[in-house]
Amino acid sequence: MAENTDLRKVLKGHANKWVALSADSSKVVGVADNPKEALKQARINKEQSPILTKVPKLSGALIL
């Protein structure tokens, strides 16, 4: 079973951007306004299996 990972610190400062994370989600390997560019940066950074996500623009608390 996979562990839960708190990405708040990793994704901080990337609101409303596409972010490519390392395969273990420990670091950002690409950031851009579109997914294609974020993946391109990940490849440049030698990440073979990046995790791509869009970081939401938050203006307050998010309760799920």
Mean pLDDT (10-residue bins), the chain, 64 residues: 76 95 96 98 97 85 58
In the chain, which ranges are E strands? 18-21, 28-32, 51-54
Q: What does pTM read for this prediction? A: 0.82
Instruction: Give the pLDDT score at 2.
Output: 54
Instruction: Give the pLDDT score at 64.
Output: 55
Phi-psi region of 16 (alpha: psi -120 to 50; beta: other; left: phi over 0): left
* Domain boundaries defined on the chain: 14-54
Instruction: Give the pLDDT score at 1.
Output: 41
Give residue 8's identity as a one-letter amino acid code. Answer: R
